[in-house]
Structure formats: structure tokens, C-alpha cells
Amino acid sequence: MTDISPSLGRAVADLMRQVSEDVILPRYQNLASHEVMEKAADDLVTVADRESEERLSEGLAKLLPEASIIGEEACAADPALLDGLEAGLYWIIDPIDGTGNFAAGRPPFGVMIALANDGDTLGGWIYDPLSGRLCHAARGMGAHIGEEPVTAVESGAPLPIAGISTLFLDPAQRADLTGRAEGKLQMVDIPRCAAEQYPRIALGGNDLALFNRTLPWDHAAGVLFLNEAGGRVARFDGAPYRVGTDEKGMLAAASPTMWDKAAAILFG
């Protein structure tokens, strides 16, 4: 498979909307304590995550039976499912991105789906259940929000606005990064939700973001969306992002020029 047909794209979007209406929104600000569990330190899962993934998996399997399915919660239960993701045709599902926000009863959170073939992302969809905003892209076909094409824009702020988390950095890395950014970047809080971070960069809310962990369900759809919108997302050394590798570290920016500028500040 080499491209995404318009009919397949619409079907994926319809599935995301339906699952959001049936599973996610009814539980927003309505979760019982026993419906929120901890998978690991600072990593929550809710009954809505699990039910959303089940429904999305069922629907995507009907849309494209030849594709395998990789979901965040299934991989949490069996990490071996990630083996071999760099080969073959896969749906990649984040049933609720920003689960910590969702469990706390606050935005942002979203649903993310990508379709990848042999490590290359062919299509990506990012849905905000609260606003109904759908960001989507197909490889070589540009990026859209709803039916409208979108081109990434910079914020125009005096200092580039950088959404950078130091949460997963050790103290030495944290000190180095903040020292490099001082006086050159305007550091802002991150939404702790990739489904919000990527659109925020494309729409000029932030100029760049730095990611340490690059799990496929968090990034496959967003990387394609921002790159197709004319931004740039790449590894710290400039290498392209590919699904299925275990590398860490990625820089996302609203334009290739902004990427180069940020890379010189942060890594130069």
C-alpha cells in the first residue's frame, strides 16, 4: 500500500468521532476512582482508554483487514507487540493521548491514529473530542484541519516559543538545556498531550517542541501532519523519524528555518 484514499480517510475520521461520542466524552469528568489505574510512575490508564482502543481496533480492522494493529494499551500489556513494527502495514492507535489530563478532568486530550507501511507513515489523524477539530495528513498530499488545507506558521514572537519538557531528563541534561535556551528561547509549559502539541506548532501557538520519548502512538500521526504542513520534525541529528526504531529524541519546528535555528541553540 502506498497511499491513502479519500474514502479511507473519511472512514477513519468518522470512526474516531463515533468512538469519542460513545466512549470518551461520556466519561470525561465522570470517572470513578476505580476506573483510573497506574501503569507505571506518572503513567495513567483509564477504562475509557481501554474501551476506546478496543472499539478503534475493531473498526480499523474492518476498514483495512490486511493491516496489523498496534495500540498503546495492548503494547503496555505485551511490549513484544512492538517488535517488527518497521516492516509491514500497521495501524497505530493512541486511544486517548493526554490521559493524565483526561483523568484529571481537564483539557487537552485527543485521539491519534496513524497508518504506516515498512516504517513510513502514510496517513495520520488527530482528533480533539471536545472541539471536534480534526487534523489529518496523507503522505505527499499536504495537511488539513477539517476540509481546509493548513500551512504551518511561526508565532512571530521576539524569541521563539519553545514547548520543552524536562520531565524525562536527568539533572545534568536539564541544566544543559535550560542554560542553552536562556535568552534565546521563550520556554513555555507543555500541554502533556502530543495531540495538542503538534497542532499548536502548526498554528503558530508554539514555534518548536523537544521530545525525548518518541513512542509511535504519540508521534507517528503528528510528525506526518507537521511535516506535510511545511514544518519540520526530525531526530536531533537531522535524520527523519521512522516508525519502529527505538531511538529517543526529536525536535519539531514550525519551519525548516526555525528547526535549524533551534538545533543550533540546543545542540550546537
- Consecutive H or E run containing 239: none
Q: What is the pLDDT of residues 62-116, one digit of tens each?
A: 999 999 999 999 998 888 888 878 889 999 999 999 999 999 999 999 999 999 9
* Banded model confidence at residue 2, pLDDT cuts 50, 70, 90: low
Q: What is the pLDDT of residues 5-27, one digit of tens each?
A: 999 999 999 999 999 999 999 99
Structural domain for 126, as ranges: 6-150
Poorest-confidence range of 145-149, 163-167, 172-176, 230-234? 163-167
Per-residue confidence (pLDDT) for residue 36, from 0 to 100: 92
pLDDT band at 161 (very low <50, low <70, confident <90, very high): very high
Q: Could you tell me what percentage of the chain is helix, strand and coil, using 3-state DSSP and rounding each to the nearest 5?
A: 40, 25, 35
Shared-domain flag, residues 142 and 10: yes
Cα gap 93→255, rounded to integer Å:
27
pLDDT score at 43: 81
Beta strands, E only, the chain: 36-40, 43-46, 68-71, 89-97, 110-117, 120-127, 134-138, 143-145, 148-150, 161-164, 186-188, 208-211, 232-234, 250-253
- Position 85 scores a pLDDT of 84
CATH of the domain at 56: 3.30.540.10
pLDDT score, position 234:
97
228 shares its domain with 166: yes
Domain assignment present for residue 1? The answer is no
**Domain termination site, one of 150, 173, 208:** 150
In terms of domains, do 87 and 193 share one? no
